[in-house]
A = this chain, B = another copy of it.
Amino acid sequence: MDDELLAVRVAELYYDENKTQDEIGALLGISRWKAGRLLAQARERGIVRIEIVHPRARRLAIERSLRERFGLADAVVVPTPENESGVQGRVAQAAADFLTSLRPVPRVLGVSWGRTLTDVAERMPDGWATGVTVVQINGGVSLNRRPGTAATLASTIAQRGRGHAVLLPSPAILERLSTKKAIESDRTVAAVLDRASEANAFLYSAGVVDANSAHVESGYLRPEDMDELAARGAIGDVVGRYIDPNGNIVDPSLDERTLGVSLDTLRSAATAILVVAGTAKHDVARAVVTSGLCTVLITDEGTARALLEDS
């Protein structure tokens, strides 16, 4: 019996039958050490595959690579399920878990909005913090369909953290610069923005340049605007601001009319957590990560690998 076959037999007896290497040796007529060595070989050669099968499993090795490669303070990578549809939920869960065990517990948490973050909010455990203040960091949506999701999201996170939410009562993008300036200088709005920029941690996601974007759906941008942004090299948005692959603002005049914390605020934040999932968002994710917009990345394996592969 050649060594490879022998290694298979040893692995079977060890892992499937819970025999000790000693027993296996006796059984197969080899020494206990040889059994051990064959077992090691079986593992090395990939004959034995050990997998952690759990919706909340993580990919620590990839996380380490991400941290090193992009100088991140932390990274969380969850396996992409065969069926990509579940990936968003898994990443959201991971974000909720991360936030829950984040130390020191942030007193003021700045949050953006979007489908992904809504998912995260729903997954926050009750009592994840005691007395957190959740501040919206960019203008809210009022989707015609589901009004108030942005506000709900912030409130949910706040409530579960035994604290309260500070909402930003403003559209995401104003049609005219003067209006934006006016709103911005309103006492209550200014106060919110102040709190926002002082947050201990920011939690946000990223959007893609696409006619289905929430900005279009909510009427802040027209499909033509999206085309224009795309033509100018935009690959997605972060806290409502459209960036190119280098993380630079694509359309300064549009950006001027966008209400919320600036990208620089994110860049200089001690903790800026990007939550992003799915194939469609690989490009934005890369832009955000490489341009230092986040210190923590929470994503799926597919996205992580895409980030590590090229560039």
Give the interface of A toward B (CB within 8 A): 1, 4-5, 8-9, 11-13, 15-17, 42, 46-54, 56-61, 97, 100-101
Contact = CB atoms under 8 A, between A and B. Distances in A.
B56 A8 contact: yes
A51 to B, nearest CB: 5
A55 to B, nearest CB: 9
A49 B48 contact: no
Given A12-B57, A12-B58, A49-B53, 19 more contacts: A1-B97, A5-B56, A5-B97, A8-B52, A8-B58, A9-B58, A12-B52, A15-B52, A16-B50, A16-B60, A17-B60, A42-B52, A46-B53, A48-B51, A48-B52, A48-B53, A49-B50, A49-B51, A51-B51
A26 to B, nearest CB: 16
A54 B2 CA distance: 14
Given A1-B101, A97-B5, A101-B1, A53 B57 contact: no
Interface centre among A4, A12, A101 (most CB of B within 10 A): A12
Contacts of A97: 1, 5
9 contacts: A1-B101, A8-B58, A17-B60, A17-B61, A46-B53, A48-B51, A49-B51, A49-B53, A51-B51
A2 to B, nearest CB: 9
What 3 A-B pairs have minimum CB-CB distances, sorted nearest first? A15-B50, A49-B51, A8-B54
A266 to B, nearest CB: 28
